[in-house]
């Protein structure tokens, strides 16, 4: 079923298209990693302020988080468009957050321009540090989403989807400590932290056959010693542990950390761990909103596939928001199917005219959806009802979170 986007809204996003391209390419050429996105915030905030939004930067005690608020003519709900704008270390915008920022901004500007007297509040929320920083989780905990009735965003990808499941995730830093010694003269006086790290990775690999198919454990050695002729006194790893749900993530974490303790015991070292970001929760997709967006984009020539187990995903801090209020996080194709995410290929795709065309289309659909959420109480009620049902159904699992 198609929903036709009003002509004036299509015209508004079409008029904004040159600015969308310019902003996207500007951010793409100035990649900033998590919580360092000062240039991006200035570019986004200045455009929103120029359009009449009330901008507040540095919210939730995060220098690169912000809100921009457009108040309507009458009372009504608060609907948020979420922006991401951080890049990946070493790769740049290999996740296409430049498009999320430019597209979300375009959707909000178009909605406000076409219906400046809308009911309620249209809010743009700038969310830093999605790539391993859990920015949305920190903002959620610090009240940045208080009073928001629903939130919308999109993500570029290798396929167009209304929704996909995302995994619960823990970001671990595992540190082994040993005893330094001369590696040739008296290695027996030392205890190798690197050996502990190596054995830990081997133990995790030996566990893989016995992990559920939904589990993902992967990481890197960030420090393995200081010199080849010194028994390493410290070794450090960054490990991501992911599972389909928070309860099963807790079970898997227990096994992974037991493997670390065993590796330390076997090598005469000690081990400690910390979580370097807030725990990411699995995603609760609101299909009432997702299906309405898909109906709008279909009318614009962009088909969003229904969710399917054949479309696996990573993890995102939007999951934590999605269990507190209705959220959508659809995907829009900007590159050939099966192009790997977080890759140079995806980075290059995120700056093409084709990517900007897809972003304009989904921004148009999001603008129409936002105006529906603001101005159609029956639709918003159906969104809330689905949310309450889904949250109630998942409550037993979430009660088991640590």
Dist. CA 24–CA 14, nearest whole Å: 15
Provide the β-strand partners of residue 78: 121
pLDDT of residue 400: 37
pLDDT of residue 309: 81
Q: Radius of gyration over alpha carbons of the chain, in Å?
A: 23
pLDDT of residue 100: 98
Domains of the chain as residue ranges with CATH? 7-166+281-398 (3.40.630.10), 168-275 (3.30.70.360)
* Torsions phi, psi for 66 (to 5 deg): -155, 165
Instruction: Report CA torsion sign: 154, 155, 159, 164.
Output: negative
Half-sphere exposure of 223 (CA within 13 A, CB side): 14
Q: What is the pLDDT along the chain (402 residues), one digit of tens a residue?
A: 678 999 999 999 999 999 999 999 999 999 999 999 999 999 999 999 999 999 999 999 999 999 999 999 999 999 999 999 999 999 999 999 999 999 999 999 999 999 999 999 999 999 999 998 999 999 999 999 999 999 999 999 999 999 998 999 999 999 999 999 999 999 999 999 999 999 999 999 999 999 999 999 999 999 999 999 999 999 999 999 999 999 999 999 999 999 999 999 999 999 999 999 889 999 999 999 999 999 999 999 999 999 988 777 789 999 999 999 999 999 999 999 999 999 999 999 999 999 999 999 999 999 999 999 999 999 999 999 999 999 887 765 443 333
Count other C-beta atoms under 10 Å from residue 375's C-beta.
Answer: 18
pLDDT of residue 395: 63
Count other C-beta atoms under 10 Å from residue 220's C-beta.
Answer: 9
């Amino acid at each position: 079923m198609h929903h036709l986007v009003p002509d004036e809204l299509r015209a508004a996003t079409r008029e904004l298209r040159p600015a969308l391209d310019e902003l996207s390419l500007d951010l793409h050429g100035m990649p900033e990693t998590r919580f360092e996105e000062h240039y991006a915030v200035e570019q986004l905030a200045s455009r929103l302020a120029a359009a009449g939004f009330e901008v507040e930067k540095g919210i939730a005690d995060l220098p690169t988080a912000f809100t921009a608020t457009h108040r309507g003519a009458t009372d009504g709900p608060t609907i948020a468009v979420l922006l991401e704008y951080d890049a990946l270390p070493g790769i740049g915008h290999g996740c296409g957050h430049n498009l999320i920022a430019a597209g979300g901004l375009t959707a909000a500007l178009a909605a406000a321009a076409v219906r400046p007297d809308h009911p309620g509040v249209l809010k743009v929320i700038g969310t830093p540090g999605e790539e391993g920083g859990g920015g949305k989780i920190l903002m959620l905990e610090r009240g940045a989403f208080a009073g928001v009735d629903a939130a919308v965003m999109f993500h570029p990808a290798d396929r167009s989807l209304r929704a996909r499941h995302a995994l619960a995730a823990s970001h671990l830093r595992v540190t082994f400590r040993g005893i330094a010694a001369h590696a040739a003269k008296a290695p027996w006086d030392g205890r190798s932290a690197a050996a502990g790290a190596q054995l830990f990775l081997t133990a995790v690999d030996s566990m893989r056959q016995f992990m559920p198919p939904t589990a993902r454990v992967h990481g890197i050695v960030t420090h393995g010693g200081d010199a080849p002729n010194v028994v390493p006194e410290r070794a450090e790893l960054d490990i991501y542990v992911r599972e389909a749900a928070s309860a099963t993530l807790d079970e898997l974490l227990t096994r992974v950390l037991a493997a670390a303790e065993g590796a330390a015991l076997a090598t005469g070292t000690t081990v400690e761990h910390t979580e370097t970001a807030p725990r990411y929760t699995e995603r609760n997709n609101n299909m009432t909103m997702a299906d309405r967006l898909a109906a709008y984009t279909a009318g614009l020539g962009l088909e969003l596939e229904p969710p399917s187990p054949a479309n696996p995903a990573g993890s995102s801090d939007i999951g934590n928001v999605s269990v507190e209020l209705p959220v959508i996080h659809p995907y829009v194709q900007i590159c050939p199917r099966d192009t790997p995410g977080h890759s140079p290929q995806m980075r290059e795709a995120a700056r093409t005219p084709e990517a900007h065309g897809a972003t304009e289309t989904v921004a148009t659909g999001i603008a129409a959806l936002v105006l529906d959420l603001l101005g159609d109480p029956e639709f918003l009620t159906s969104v809330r009802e689905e949310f309450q049902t889904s949250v109630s159904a998942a409550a037993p699992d979430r009660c088991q979170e640590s």
